[in-house]
Amino acid sequence: MTRPPKVAVALLVLLIAIRGQASVSPCENAKVQLETLSAQLELYRAAKGSYPPADRWIEALKQGGMMDRKESVLDPWGHLYEYRSRGDDYELGSLGADGLRGTEDDQVRAEAFRWKACRVKQGC
């Protein structure tokens, strides 16, 4: 499997950044994790020609070598990151501290990363 050098380097930088997130807010940590997951999805697409199916995206990333088998896909609040494949694009996000879809504290990747503000009272 050939990995695009720029994406591989970006993924490495993001993984190192995640390891040093101890003093960062949960919202900032979620942003870094989502960026890492996005890079892993791009690696998968580069290798396989499409994004993984939504019903087994985590398994596909792990089997494809884009994600460590022991790597967690839980956001800082303990919720599974949400992923939906849309053909040549995808939706990826966290439900935030409240665990509810469509609320102010959601962290969403849509076309380009545009982050909604996390509320202080929601754990950020």
pLDDT at 14: 53
**pLDDT tens, residue by residue, 23-58:** 678 888 888 898 899 999 999 999 999 999 999 999
Angle formed by the axes of helices 26-48 and 5-19, nearest 10°: 150
Domain edges within the chain:
5-122
pTM (global) more than 0.85: no
Q: Which fold would CATH assign to domain 5-122?
A: Glycoprotein, Type 4 Pilin (3.30.700)
Buried b / exposed e along 46-60 (16+ C-beta atoms within 10 A): eeeeebbeeeebbeb
